[in-house]
Chain A
Amino acid sequence: MQAVVHVAGLEKVFKVPEREAGLRASVASLFNRRWQDVRAVDGVSFEVGPGEVVGFLGPNGAGKTTTLKMLSGLLHPTGGEARVLGHVPWKRERDYLRRMTLVMGNRNQLQWDLPALDSFELNRAIYRLPREDFRTTRDELIELLDIGDLVRKPVRQLSLGERMKVEVVGSLLHLPQVLFLDEPTIGLDVTMQKRIRSFVAAYNERYGATVLLTSHYMADVEALCKRVIVIHHGRLLFDGRLDALVDRFGAYKTIEAVLADGETLTLQVPRDETSAATARLLADHDVHDLTVEDPPIEDVIEQVFAS
Protein backbone atom coordinates (compact mmCIF):
# COMPACT_ATOMS: atom_id res chain seq x y z
CA MET A 1 0.00 0.00 0.00
CA GLN A 2 1.42 3.39 -0.96
CA ALA A 3 2.34 5.68 1.94
CA VAL A 4 0.28 8.84 2.35
CA VAL A 5 3.08 10.53 4.27
CA HIS A 6 6.63 9.77 3.21
CA VAL A 7 9.48 11.45 5.07
CA ALA A 8 13.15 10.75 4.41
CA GLY A 9 16.08 12.37 6.21
CA LEU A 10 14.08 15.51 6.97
CA GLU A 11 16.13 18.29 8.56
CA LYS A 12 15.43 21.77 9.82
CA VAL A 13 18.13 24.03 11.17
CA PHE A 14 17.21 27.42 12.62
CA LYS A 15 19.86 30.14 12.76
CA VAL A 16 19.31 31.87 16.07
CA PRO A 17 21.16 35.02 17.22
CA GLU A 18 22.66 34.72 20.69
CA ARG A 19 24.33 37.11 23.11
CA GLU A 20 24.91 37.57 26.81
CA ALA A 21 22.53 39.72 28.83
CA GLY A 22 23.31 43.37 29.53
CA LEU A 23 24.05 46.66 27.81
CA ARG A 24 27.69 45.87 27.06
CA ALA A 25 26.80 42.66 25.26
CA SER A 26 24.05 44.51 23.43
CA VAL A 27 26.53 47.11 22.11
CA ALA A 28 29.11 44.42 21.30
CA SER A 29 26.51 42.51 19.26
CA LEU A 30 26.28 45.51 16.92
CA PHE A 31 29.79 44.76 15.70
CA ASN A 32 30.13 41.06 16.29
CA ARG A 33 26.85 39.24 16.01
CA ARG A 34 26.96 35.60 16.98
CA TRP A 35 24.63 32.97 15.60
CA GLN A 36 23.83 29.51 16.77
CA ASP A 37 22.57 26.68 14.60
CA VAL A 38 19.67 24.94 16.29
CA ARG A 39 18.92 21.55 14.73
CA ALA A 40 15.20 21.30 15.41
CA VAL A 41 14.74 18.26 13.18
CA ASP A 42 17.74 16.08 12.46
CA GLY A 43 17.31 13.48 9.75
CA VAL A 44 13.89 12.11 10.59
CA SER A 45 12.45 9.37 8.36
CA PHE A 46 9.11 7.60 8.53
CA GLU A 47 6.06 6.65 6.52
CA VAL A 48 2.37 6.72 7.34
CA GLY A 49 -0.15 4.62 5.46
CA PRO A 50 -3.67 5.57 4.39
CA GLY A 51 -6.16 5.72 7.24
CA GLU A 52 -3.50 5.30 9.93
CA VAL A 53 -3.65 7.31 13.17
CA VAL A 54 -0.10 7.80 14.41
CA GLY A 55 1.00 9.43 17.65
CA PHE A 56 3.99 11.72 17.25
CA LEU A 57 5.57 11.97 20.66
CA GLY A 58 8.44 13.82 22.23
CA PRO A 59 9.22 16.28 25.00
CA ASN A 60 8.99 20.06 24.49
CA GLY A 61 11.48 21.17 21.84
CA ALA A 62 11.84 17.66 20.39
CA GLY A 63 10.94 18.86 16.89
CA LYS A 64 7.36 17.56 16.64
CA THR A 65 5.69 20.85 15.75
CA THR A 66 8.54 21.80 13.40
CA THR A 67 8.05 18.51 11.57
CA LEU A 68 4.32 19.07 11.30
CA LYS A 69 4.89 22.62 10.05
CA MET A 70 7.17 21.28 7.31
CA LEU A 71 4.66 18.58 6.37
CA SER A 72 1.88 21.14 6.15
CA GLY A 73 3.96 23.46 3.96
CA LEU A 74 4.53 26.26 6.47
CA LEU A 75 8.27 25.72 6.70
CA HIS A 76 10.93 24.93 4.13
CA PRO A 77 13.26 22.19 5.34
CA THR A 78 17.04 22.57 5.45
CA GLY A 79 17.48 19.08 4.04
CA GLY A 80 15.80 15.78 3.27
CA GLU A 81 12.58 15.13 1.46
CA ALA A 82 8.91 14.66 2.17
CA ARG A 83 5.83 13.81 0.19
CA VAL A 84 2.28 13.96 1.45
CA LEU A 85 -0.46 12.64 -0.83
CA GLY A 86 2.19 12.71 -3.55
CA HIS A 87 2.90 16.44 -3.09
CA VAL A 88 6.01 18.17 -1.82
CA PRO A 89 4.36 20.11 1.02
CA TRP A 90 6.49 23.28 0.94
CA LYS A 91 5.64 23.84 -2.73
CA ARG A 92 2.24 24.73 -1.29
CA GLU A 93 0.30 23.55 -4.32
CA ARG A 94 -3.39 24.36 -4.07
CA ASP A 95 -4.40 20.76 -4.71
CA TYR A 96 -2.37 19.77 -1.69
CA LEU A 97 -3.62 22.52 0.61
CA ARG A 98 -7.19 21.53 -0.29
CA ARG A 99 -6.57 17.98 0.91
CA MET A 100 -4.92 18.49 4.27
CA THR A 101 -5.29 20.46 7.46
CA LEU A 102 -3.11 21.42 10.41
CA VAL A 103 -4.96 21.97 13.65
CA MET A 104 -2.96 23.59 16.42
CA GLY A 105 -4.35 23.77 19.93
CA ASN A 106 -3.62 27.47 20.24
CA ARG A 107 -4.54 28.58 16.74
CA ASN A 108 -7.43 30.88 16.00
CA GLN A 109 -8.57 30.88 12.40
CA LEU A 110 -12.08 32.06 13.19
CA GLN A 111 -13.35 35.62 12.92
CA TRP A 112 -13.36 36.71 16.57
CA ASP A 113 -16.35 39.06 16.42
CA LEU A 114 -18.77 36.95 14.42
CA PRO A 115 -20.53 33.62 14.90
CA ALA A 116 -18.46 30.68 13.66
CA LEU A 117 -21.03 30.02 10.94
CA ASP A 118 -19.76 33.15 9.17
CA SER A 119 -16.18 31.89 9.29
CA PHE A 120 -17.37 28.54 7.96
CA GLU A 121 -18.95 30.39 5.05
CA LEU A 122 -15.61 32.02 4.26
CA ASN A 123 -13.96 28.59 4.35
CA ARG A 124 -16.56 27.37 1.85
CA ALA A 125 -15.47 30.10 -0.54
CA ILE A 126 -11.74 29.51 0.07
CA TYR A 127 -11.96 25.77 -0.52
CA ARG A 128 -14.39 26.23 -3.41
CA LEU A 129 -16.91 23.81 -1.92
CA PRO A 130 -20.24 23.35 -3.69
CA ARG A 131 -22.89 24.91 -1.44
CA GLU A 132 -24.96 21.76 -1.05
CA ASP A 133 -21.95 19.57 -0.17
CA PHE A 134 -20.72 22.25 2.22
CA ARG A 135 -24.03 22.40 4.09
CA THR A 136 -24.21 18.63 4.39
CA THR A 137 -20.64 18.34 5.71
CA ARG A 138 -21.02 21.34 8.03
CA ASP A 139 -24.21 20.00 9.59
CA GLU A 140 -22.74 16.52 9.89
CA LEU A 141 -19.62 17.78 11.68
CA ILE A 142 -21.63 20.10 13.91
CA GLU A 143 -23.81 17.18 14.91
CA LEU A 144 -20.80 14.90 15.44
CA LEU A 145 -19.30 17.36 17.92
CA ASP A 146 -22.69 18.49 19.23
CA ILE A 147 -21.98 22.21 18.81
CA GLY A 148 -25.24 23.32 17.22
CA ASP A 149 -25.82 26.00 19.84
CA LEU A 150 -22.21 27.26 19.78
CA VAL A 151 -21.84 28.10 16.11
CA ARG A 152 -24.38 30.92 16.33
CA LYS A 153 -22.60 32.79 19.12
CA PRO A 154 -19.78 35.28 18.46
CA VAL A 155 -16.51 33.36 18.78
CA ARG A 156 -15.19 35.73 21.46
CA GLN A 157 -18.00 34.60 23.76
CA LEU A 158 -17.00 30.94 23.64
CA SER A 159 -14.87 29.24 26.28
CA LEU A 160 -11.48 27.78 25.29
CA GLY A 161 -12.91 24.29 24.97
CA GLU A 162 -15.93 25.42 23.00
CA ARG A 163 -13.71 27.47 20.69
CA MET A 164 -11.45 24.48 20.11
CA LYS A 165 -14.39 22.32 19.07
CA VAL A 166 -15.57 25.00 16.67
CA GLU A 167 -12.01 25.42 15.35
CA VAL A 168 -11.78 21.70 14.66
CA VAL A 169 -15.01 21.74 12.69
CA GLY A 170 -13.81 24.78 10.73
CA SER A 171 -10.60 22.95 9.85
CA LEU A 172 -12.42 19.90 8.54
CA LEU A 173 -15.17 21.42 6.41
CA HIS A 174 -13.23 20.60 3.25
CA LEU A 175 -12.95 16.97 4.39
CA PRO A 176 -9.15 16.78 4.35
CA GLN A 177 -7.59 13.39 3.74
CA VAL A 178 -4.63 14.15 5.99
CA LEU A 179 -4.92 15.68 9.46
CA PHE A 180 -1.94 17.05 11.31
CA LEU A 181 -3.13 17.62 14.86
CA ASP A 182 -0.71 19.50 17.07
CA GLU A 183 -1.85 19.16 20.65
CA PRO A 184 -5.53 19.53 19.82
CA THR A 185 -6.58 18.97 23.46
CA ILE A 186 -4.12 21.34 25.13
CA GLY A 187 -5.66 23.27 28.00
CA LEU A 188 -9.01 21.45 27.81
CA ASP A 189 -10.76 19.72 30.69
CA VAL A 190 -11.08 15.94 30.74
CA THR A 191 -14.61 15.87 29.33
CA MET A 192 -13.70 18.17 26.47
CA GLN A 193 -10.55 16.13 25.75
CA LYS A 194 -12.64 12.96 25.50
CA ARG A 195 -15.06 14.69 23.17
CA ILE A 196 -12.31 15.81 20.80
CA ARG A 197 -10.73 12.35 20.92
CA SER A 198 -13.92 10.54 20.04
CA PHE A 199 -14.55 13.08 17.29
CA VAL A 200 -11.14 12.45 15.72
CA ALA A 201 -11.71 8.71 15.94
CA ALA A 202 -15.14 9.07 14.32
CA TYR A 203 -13.78 11.32 11.56
CA ASN A 204 -10.97 8.85 10.87
CA GLU A 205 -13.43 5.98 10.68
CA ARG A 206 -16.02 7.80 8.59
CA TYR A 207 -13.70 9.42 6.05
CA GLY A 208 -10.66 7.10 6.19
CA ALA A 209 -8.40 10.08 6.88
CA THR A 210 -4.76 9.72 7.84
CA VAL A 211 -3.93 11.37 11.16
CA LEU A 212 -0.59 12.41 12.63
CA LEU A 213 -1.15 13.57 16.19
CA THR A 214 1.11 15.18 18.77
CA SER A 215 -0.04 15.39 22.35
CA HIS A 216 1.37 15.54 25.83
CA TYR A 217 -1.75 13.79 27.10
CA MET A 218 -1.04 10.09 26.86
CA ALA A 219 -4.77 9.41 27.11
CA ASP A 220 -5.07 10.97 23.63
CA VAL A 221 -2.41 8.66 22.29
CA GLU A 222 -3.75 5.54 23.97
CA ALA A 223 -7.28 6.22 22.79
CA LEU A 224 -6.42 6.99 19.18
CA CYS A 225 -3.07 5.58 18.11
CA LYS A 226 -1.98 2.01 17.57
CA ARG A 227 1.34 3.26 16.31
CA VAL A 228 3.66 5.88 17.76
CA ILE A 229 6.74 7.72 16.54
CA VAL A 230 8.97 9.10 19.27
CA ILE A 231 11.47 11.85 18.59
CA HIS A 232 13.90 13.61 20.90
CA HIS A 233 16.39 16.39 20.07
CA GLY A 234 15.10 16.19 16.50
CA ARG A 235 16.02 12.52 16.10
CA LEU A 236 13.77 9.52 15.74
CA LEU A 237 14.01 7.22 18.76
CA PHE A 238 11.19 4.78 18.12
CA ASP A 239 8.70 3.97 15.39
CA GLY A 240 6.32 1.09 15.96
CA ARG A 241 3.23 -0.18 17.69
CA LEU A 242 2.32 1.39 21.01
CA ASP A 243 2.35 -2.00 22.76
CA ALA A 244 5.80 -2.73 21.30
CA LEU A 245 7.01 0.53 22.84
CA VAL A 246 5.75 -0.62 26.21
CA ASP A 247 7.37 -4.05 25.74
CA ARG A 248 10.67 -2.51 24.80
CA PHE A 249 10.91 0.39 27.21
CA GLY A 250 8.56 -0.61 30.04
CA ALA A 251 11.29 -1.69 32.46
CA TYR A 252 8.94 -2.97 35.14
CA LYS A 253 5.47 -4.29 35.77
CA THR A 254 3.20 -3.58 38.68
CA ILE A 255 1.71 -6.53 40.55
CA GLU A 256 -1.19 -5.79 42.85
CA ALA A 257 -2.45 -8.55 45.11
CA VAL A 258 -5.43 -8.44 47.45
CA LEU A 259 -4.86 -10.97 50.23
CA ALA A 260 -7.57 -13.02 51.93
CA ASP A 261 -7.36 -10.83 55.06
CA GLY A 262 -8.11 -7.74 52.95
CA GLU A 263 -4.57 -6.39 52.90
CA THR A 264 -3.32 -5.09 49.51
CA LEU A 265 0.24 -5.65 48.33
CA THR A 266 1.69 -3.59 45.48
CA LEU A 267 4.98 -4.67 43.96
CA GLN A 268 7.06 -3.18 41.14
CA VAL A 269 9.22 -5.89 39.62
CA PRO A 270 11.62 -5.95 36.67
CA ARG A 271 9.76 -7.01 33.58
CA ASP A 272 11.62 -10.31 33.04
CA GLU A 273 11.05 -11.34 36.66
CA THR A 274 7.29 -10.88 36.58
CA SER A 275 6.42 -14.58 36.24
CA ALA A 276 8.74 -15.66 39.03
CA ALA A 277 7.55 -12.91 41.37
CA THR A 278 3.90 -13.73 40.69
CA ALA A 279 4.50 -17.46 41.31
CA ARG A 280 6.28 -16.74 44.61
CA LEU A 281 3.50 -14.38 45.73
CA LEU A 282 0.84 -17.01 45.02
CA ALA A 283 2.87 -19.70 46.78
CA ASP A 284 3.66 -17.66 49.90
CA HIS A 285 0.31 -15.90 50.47
CA ASP A 286 -3.38 -16.63 50.41
CA VAL A 287 -4.20 -14.37 47.47
CA HIS A 288 -7.80 -13.34 46.91
CA ASP A 289 -7.26 -11.21 43.76
CA LEU A 290 -4.24 -10.45 41.57
CA THR A 291 -3.56 -8.00 38.75
CA VAL A 292 -0.40 -7.50 36.69
CA GLU A 293 -0.15 -4.19 34.84
CA ASP A 294 2.23 -2.50 32.44
CA PRO A 295 3.63 0.81 33.65
CA PRO A 296 1.68 3.95 32.72
CA ILE A 297 2.54 5.10 29.21
CA GLU A 298 3.91 8.36 30.63
CA ASP A 299 6.57 6.37 32.52
CA VAL A 300 7.42 4.38 29.40
CA ILE A 301 7.87 7.54 27.36
CA GLU A 302 10.05 8.99 30.11
CA GLN A 303 12.14 5.84 29.92
CA VAL A 304 12.48 6.25 26.14
CA PHE A 305 13.76 9.82 26.55
CA ALA A 306 16.11 8.76 29.33
CA SER A 307 17.56 6.01 27.19
Chain B
Amino acid sequence: MSAQESALRSYWDFYLAGMRQRIQVGFQYRAATYMYTVGMLAEPVIYLVVWRTIANQHGGTINGVGAGQIAAYYIVWTVVRTFNIVFTPFGWEWRIREGTLSAQLLRPIHPVHYDMADFAGQKFPWLVMYSPLAVGLALVFHPSLHPRPLEILVFIVAIWGAYVIRSLNHFVLGMLTLFTTRATSVFQIWFLAELLVSGRLVPLSFMPHWAQTLAAWLPFKWTFYFPIESLVGSMSTQTLLTGLLWQCLWTAIGSVLVFVAFRLAIRHYSAVGN
Protein backbone atom coordinates (compact mmCIF):
# COMPACT_ATOMS: atom_id res chain seq x y z
CA MET B 1 0.00 0.00 0.00
CA SER B 2 1.42 3.41 -0.95
CA ALA B 3 1.89 6.15 1.65
CA GLN B 4 -0.98 8.12 0.11
CA GLU B 5 -3.31 5.13 0.21
CA SER B 6 -2.34 4.49 3.79
CA ALA B 7 -2.99 8.14 4.74
CA LEU B 8 -6.38 8.06 3.02
CA ARG B 9 -7.34 4.87 4.84
CA SER B 10 -6.27 6.47 8.13
CA TYR B 11 -8.46 9.52 7.49
CA TRP B 12 -11.36 7.27 6.54
CA ASP B 13 -10.81 5.30 9.74
CA PHE B 14 -10.72 8.53 11.78
CA TYR B 15 -13.89 9.89 10.17
CA LEU B 16 -15.72 6.62 10.79
CA ALA B 17 -14.62 6.56 14.45
CA GLY B 18 -15.49 10.24 14.96
CA MET B 19 -18.88 9.95 13.27
CA ARG B 20 -19.70 6.77 15.16
CA GLN B 21 -18.98 8.57 18.41
CA ARG B 22 -21.26 11.47 17.51
CA ILE B 23 -24.06 9.17 16.35
CA GLN B 24 -23.92 7.40 19.72
CA VAL B 25 -24.20 10.73 21.56
CA GLY B 26 -27.07 11.81 19.30
CA PHE B 27 -29.10 8.69 20.02
CA GLN B 28 -28.14 8.61 23.69
CA TYR B 29 -29.62 12.09 24.10
CA ARG B 30 -32.49 11.47 21.68
CA ALA B 31 -34.96 13.67 23.57
CA ALA B 32 -32.59 16.66 23.39
CA THR B 33 -31.83 15.90 19.74
CA TYR B 34 -35.55 15.74 18.98
CA MET B 35 -36.29 19.03 20.74
CA TYR B 36 -33.47 20.63 18.79
CA THR B 37 -34.81 19.26 15.52
CA VAL B 38 -38.32 20.51 16.29
CA GLY B 39 -36.91 23.92 17.29
CA MET B 40 -35.07 24.10 13.98
CA LEU B 41 -38.37 23.92 12.12
CA ALA B 42 -39.57 27.27 13.42
CA GLU B 43 -37.41 29.30 11.02
CA PRO B 44 -38.40 27.60 7.72
CA VAL B 45 -42.06 27.31 8.71
CA ILE B 46 -42.21 31.08 9.34
CA TYR B 47 -40.57 31.78 5.95
CA LEU B 48 -42.90 29.28 4.29
CA VAL B 49 -46.06 30.75 5.77
CA VAL B 50 -44.98 34.32 4.91
CA TRP B 51 -44.10 33.50 1.28
CA ARG B 52 -47.22 31.38 0.74
CA THR B 53 -49.36 34.21 2.03
CA ILE B 54 -47.63 36.65 -0.33
CA ALA B 55 -48.04 34.19 -3.21
CA ASN B 56 -51.75 33.78 -2.48
CA GLN B 57 -52.14 37.55 -2.46
CA HIS B 58 -50.50 37.70 -5.92
CA GLY B 59 -52.71 35.17 -7.63
CA GLY B 60 -50.95 32.06 -6.33
CA THR B 61 -47.38 32.68 -7.62
CA ILE B 62 -44.31 34.86 -7.02
CA ASN B 63 -42.05 35.36 -10.03
CA GLY B 64 -43.79 32.35 -11.58
CA VAL B 65 -43.18 30.13 -8.52
CA GLY B 66 -46.34 28.52 -7.16
CA ALA B 67 -47.35 27.91 -3.53
CA GLY B 68 -46.61 24.17 -3.87
CA GLN B 69 -43.07 24.91 -5.08
CA ILE B 70 -42.56 27.38 -2.24
CA ALA B 71 -43.65 24.68 0.20
CA ALA B 72 -41.24 22.22 -1.43
CA TYR B 73 -38.43 24.81 -1.26
CA TYR B 74 -38.76 25.31 2.49
CA ILE B 75 -39.32 21.66 3.34
CA VAL B 76 -36.16 20.73 1.43
CA TRP B 77 -34.59 23.79 3.09
CA THR B 78 -34.89 22.00 6.46
CA VAL B 79 -32.93 19.00 5.16
CA VAL B 80 -30.24 21.25 3.67
CA ARG B 81 -30.08 23.27 6.87
CA THR B 82 -29.67 20.09 8.90
CA PHE B 83 -26.75 19.15 6.70
CA ASN B 84 -25.02 22.51 6.58
CA ILE B 85 -24.97 22.98 10.35
CA VAL B 86 -21.30 23.06 11.40
CA PHE B 87 -19.26 24.12 14.41
CA THR B 88 -20.04 27.78 14.96
CA PRO B 89 -17.23 30.34 14.97
CA PHE B 90 -18.84 31.73 18.14
CA GLY B 91 -17.77 28.49 19.83
CA TRP B 92 -14.07 29.14 19.37
CA GLU B 93 -13.82 31.38 22.41
CA TRP B 94 -15.27 28.56 24.54
CA ARG B 95 -13.04 26.04 22.80
CA ILE B 96 -9.91 28.03 23.67
CA ARG B 97 -11.02 28.82 27.23
CA GLU B 98 -11.88 25.20 28.03
CA GLY B 99 -8.61 23.88 26.61
CA THR B 100 -10.37 21.83 23.95
CA LEU B 101 -8.29 23.40 21.20
CA SER B 102 -5.07 22.64 23.09
CA ALA B 103 -6.13 19.00 23.43
CA GLN B 104 -6.76 18.86 19.67
CA LEU B 105 -3.47 20.55 18.81
CA LEU B 106 -1.53 17.97 20.78
CA ARG B 107 -2.71 15.23 18.44
CA PRO B 108 -1.28 14.36 15.04
CA ILE B 109 -4.30 15.42 12.98
CA HIS B 110 -5.43 18.84 11.77
CA PRO B 111 -8.13 20.23 14.13
CA VAL B 112 -10.49 20.90 11.20
CA HIS B 113 -11.05 17.15 10.92
CA TYR B 114 -12.51 16.91 14.43
CA ASP B 115 -15.30 19.31 13.53
CA MET B 116 -15.88 17.73 10.16
CA ALA B 117 -16.15 14.19 11.55
CA ASP B 118 -18.16 15.25 14.58
CA PHE B 119 -20.81 17.24 12.76
CA ALA B 120 -20.98 14.73 9.91
CA GLY B 121 -21.95 12.09 12.46
CA GLN B 122 -24.58 14.38 13.94
CA LYS B 123 -26.51 14.39 10.66
CA PHE B 124 -27.64 10.80 10.98
CA PRO B 125 -29.62 10.96 14.23
CA TRP B 126 -31.06 14.30 13.08
CA LEU B 127 -32.12 12.83 9.79
CA VAL B 128 -33.79 9.84 11.43
CA MET B 129 -35.68 12.10 13.82
CA TYR B 130 -36.53 14.66 11.17
CA SER B 131 -38.15 12.16 8.75
CA PRO B 132 -41.56 11.97 10.52
CA LEU B 133 -41.56 15.76 10.84
CA ALA B 134 -40.98 16.08 7.09
CA VAL B 135 -44.01 13.85 6.47
CA GLY B 136 -46.05 16.08 8.78
CA LEU B 137 -44.91 19.22 6.96
CA ALA B 138 -45.79 17.64 3.60
CA LEU B 139 -49.28 16.77 4.80
CA VAL B 140 -49.88 20.31 6.02
CA PHE B 141 -48.31 22.34 3.19
CA HIS B 142 -48.74 20.08 0.08
CA PRO B 143 -45.34 20.58 -1.58
CA SER B 144 -44.97 20.22 -5.30
CA LEU B 145 -41.89 18.03 -5.68
CA HIS B 146 -41.17 15.79 -8.70
CA PRO B 147 -37.38 15.26 -8.91
CA ARG B 148 -35.61 13.28 -11.63
CA PRO B 149 -33.15 10.53 -10.53
CA LEU B 150 -30.23 12.77 -11.57
CA GLU B 151 -31.59 15.59 -9.42
CA ILE B 152 -31.81 13.27 -6.43
CA LEU B 153 -28.24 12.15 -7.02
CA VAL B 154 -26.95 15.71 -7.37
CA PHE B 155 -28.90 16.73 -4.27
CA ILE B 156 -27.23 14.00 -2.18
CA VAL B 157 -23.79 15.14 -3.32
CA ALA B 158 -24.67 18.84 -3.01
CA ILE B 159 -25.84 18.67 0.61
CA TRP B 160 -22.50 17.14 1.59
CA GLY B 161 -20.74 19.73 -0.57
CA ALA B 162 -22.64 22.44 1.28
CA TYR B 163 -21.57 20.87 4.56
CA VAL B 164 -17.88 20.80 3.60
CA ILE B 165 -17.85 24.39 2.25
CA ARG B 166 -19.57 25.75 5.34
CA SER B 167 -17.30 23.73 7.67
CA LEU B 168 -14.18 25.15 6.04
CA ASN B 169 -15.49 28.72 5.95
CA HIS B 170 -16.54 28.65 9.57
CA PHE B 171 -13.22 27.16 10.62
CA VAL B 172 -11.39 30.06 8.96
CA LEU B 173 -13.75 32.53 10.62
CA GLY B 174 -13.28 30.88 14.00
CA MET B 175 -9.53 31.24 13.76
CA LEU B 176 -9.98 35.02 13.95
CA THR B 177 -10.47 34.35 17.65
CA LEU B 178 -6.76 33.54 17.87
CA PHE B 179 -5.94 37.08 16.74
CA THR B 180 -8.55 38.88 18.80
CA THR B 181 -10.63 37.50 21.64
CA ARG B 182 -13.71 39.40 20.47
CA ALA B 183 -14.19 38.45 16.84
CA THR B 184 -17.96 38.13 17.13
CA SER B 185 -18.69 41.35 15.23
CA VAL B 186 -17.00 39.90 12.14
CA PHE B 187 -19.06 36.74 12.53
CA GLN B 188 -22.26 38.80 12.70
CA ILE B 189 -21.48 40.52 9.39
CA TRP B 190 -20.72 37.16 7.79
CA PHE B 191 -23.99 35.62 8.96
CA LEU B 192 -25.98 38.65 7.84
CA ALA B 193 -24.49 38.32 4.35
CA GLU B 194 -25.26 34.61 4.39
CA LEU B 195 -28.84 35.20 5.46
CA LEU B 196 -29.42 37.65 2.62
CA VAL B 197 -27.68 36.11 -0.39
CA SER B 198 -27.67 32.38 0.29
CA GLY B 199 -31.32 31.59 -0.36
CA ARG B 200 -31.89 31.02 3.33
CA LEU B 201 -34.23 33.93 3.99
CA VAL B 202 -35.48 34.46 0.45
CA PRO B 203 -35.21 32.09 -2.53
CA LEU B 204 -32.68 33.78 -4.83
CA SER B 205 -35.14 33.63 -7.74
CA PHE B 206 -37.30 36.15 -5.81
CA MET B 207 -34.43 38.62 -5.58
CA PRO B 208 -33.43 41.35 -8.07
CA HIS B 209 -31.02 40.43 -10.85
CA TRP B 210 -28.06 42.33 -9.35
CA ALA B 211 -28.45 40.41 -6.06
CA GLN B 212 -28.51 37.11 -7.94
CA THR B 213 -25.33 38.09 -9.82
CA LEU B 214 -23.64 39.04 -6.55
CA ALA B 215 -24.72 35.76 -4.94
CA ALA B 216 -23.18 33.78 -7.81
CA TRP B 217 -19.72 35.08 -6.84
CA LEU B 218 -20.02 34.37 -3.14
CA PRO B 219 -19.86 30.98 -1.39
CA PHE B 220 -23.22 31.25 0.40
CA LYS B 221 -25.44 30.31 -2.52
CA TRP B 222 -23.66 26.96 -2.81
CA THR B 223 -24.51 26.03 0.77
CA PHE B 224 -28.27 26.79 0.66
CA TYR B 225 -29.85 27.74 -2.65
CA PHE B 226 -28.04 25.37 -4.97
CA PRO B 227 -28.65 22.15 -2.98
CA ILE B 228 -32.32 23.11 -2.46
CA GLU B 229 -32.90 24.06 -6.09
CA SER B 230 -31.09 20.94 -7.34
CA LEU B 231 -34.03 18.94 -5.96
CA VAL B 232 -36.90 21.43 -6.09
CA GLY B 233 -36.17 23.45 -9.22
CA SER B 234 -35.97 22.41 -12.81
CA MET B 235 -32.28 22.89 -13.50
CA SER B 236 -30.78 21.50 -16.69
CA THR B 237 -28.25 18.68 -16.41
CA GLN B 238 -25.52 21.13 -17.35
CA THR B 239 -26.57 23.60 -14.63
CA LEU B 240 -26.66 20.80 -12.06
CA LEU B 241 -23.17 19.57 -12.92
CA THR B 242 -21.78 23.11 -13.16
CA GLY B 243 -23.19 23.72 -9.69
CA LEU B 244 -21.27 20.73 -8.35
CA LEU B 245 -18.12 22.10 -9.99
CA TRP B 246 -18.71 25.43 -8.25
CA GLN B 247 -18.98 23.54 -4.97
CA CYS B 248 -15.67 21.82 -5.74
CA LEU B 249 -14.10 25.21 -6.42
CA TRP B 250 -15.34 26.68 -3.13
CA THR B 251 -14.15 23.54 -1.32
CA ALA B 252 -10.68 24.03 -2.82
CA ILE B 253 -10.67 27.73 -1.89
CA GLY B 254 -11.85 26.90 1.63
CA SER B 255 -9.17 24.22 2.03
CA VAL B 256 -6.40 26.61 0.98
CA LEU B 257 -7.75 29.28 3.33
CA VAL B 258 -7.89 26.80 6.24
CA PHE B 259 -4.31 25.70 5.54
CA VAL B 260 -2.92 29.24 5.27
CA ALA B 261 -5.01 30.78 8.06
CA PHE B 262 -4.15 27.94 10.44
CA ARG B 263 -0.43 28.36 9.88
CA LEU B 264 -0.71 32.09 10.56
CA ALA B 265 -3.15 31.85 13.45
CA ILE B 266 -1.43 29.11 15.38
CA ARG B 267 1.61 31.35 15.93
CA HIS B 268 -0.69 33.69 17.84
CA TYR B 269 -2.21 30.97 19.98
CA SER B 270 -1.47 31.68 23.61
CA ALA B 271 -3.08 28.54 25.06
CA VAL B 272 -4.53 30.72 27.79
CA GLY B 273 -7.24 28.23 28.68
CA ASN B 274 -6.88 25.11 30.76
Contact = CB atoms under 8 A, between A and B. Distances in A.
Contacts of A102: 106
Contacts of A285: none
A207 interface: no
B21 A75 contact: no
Interface stretch (B10-18, B36-44, B53-61, B132-140): B10-18
Contacts of A108: 98-99, 103
Interface stretch (A124-132, A157-165, A195-203, A289-297): A124-132
Interface string B21-32: 100110011000
A74 B271 contact: yes
Interface string B81-110: 000000000000000001100110111110
Interface stretch (A20-28, A110-118, A249-257): A110-118
A288 B102 CA distance: 58
Nearest to A106: B274
B25 A113 contact: yes
Interface string B237-274: 00000000000000000000000000000110111001
Interface stretch (A93-101, A135-143, A211-219, A266-274): A93-101
Given A118-B21, A125-B18, A101 B10 contact: no
A76 interface: yes
Nearest to A109: B103
Interface residues of A, number: 32
A97 B107 contact: yes
Max chain B C-beta neighbours (<10 A), residue from A14, A72, A75, A125:
A125
A75 B106 contact: no
Contact of A126 (B98, B105, B108): B108
Nearest to A101: B106
A164 B99 CA distance: 15
A99 to B, nearest CB: 9
A152 interface: no
A14 B271 CA distance: 11
Given A69-B271, A106-B99, A107-B102, A114 B21 contact: yes
A122 B102 contact: no
A234 interface: no
B106 A74 contact: yes
B267 A126 contact: no
Contact of A72 (B106, B266, B267): B106
A74 B105 contact: yes
A94 B98 CA distance: 24
A107 B103 CA distance: 8
Contacts of B109: 94, 126
A114 B24 contact: yes
Contacts of B271: 69, 74-75
Contact of A125 (B17, B102, B105, B106): B17
B14 A104 contact: no
A95 B3 CA distance: 14
Contacts of B17: 121-122, 124-125
Contacts of A126: 14, 107-109
B108 A73 contact: no
A92 interface: yes
A118 B108 CA distance: 18
Interface in A40-73: 69, 72-73
Max chain B C-beta neighbours (<10 A), residue from A94, A98, A122, A123:
A122
A73 B105 contact: yes
Contacts of B274: 104, 106-107
Given A111-B21, A114-B21, A75 B270 contact: yes
B265 to A, nearest CB: 11
B53 to A, nearest CB: 42
A118 B99 contact: no
A244 B54 CA distance: 86
Nearest to A103: B106
Nearest to A122: B17
B29 A113 contact: yes
Given A107-B274, A108-B99, A125-B18, A73 B106 contact: yes
B103 A125 contact: no
Interface of A: 14, 69, 72-76, 92, 94-95, 97-98, 101-102, 104, 106-109, 111, 113-114, 118-119, 121-128
15 contacts: A72-B106, A74-B269, A92-B105, A94-B108, A95-B108, A97-B107, A104-B102, A104-B274, A108-B99, A108-B103, A119-B21, A121-B17, A125-B18, A126-B107, A128-B10
- Which 4 residue pairs are nearest across A and B when measured between Cβ atoms? A97-B108, A125-B17, A94-B108, A109-B103
Given A106-B274, A122-B14, 20 more contacts: A14-B270, A74-B106, A74-B271, A75-B269, A76-B266, A76-B267, A92-B266, A94-B108, A98-B108, A104-B99, A107-B99, A107-B103, A109-B103, A114-B24, A114-B28, A122-B18, A123-B107, A125-B13, A125-B17, A128-B10
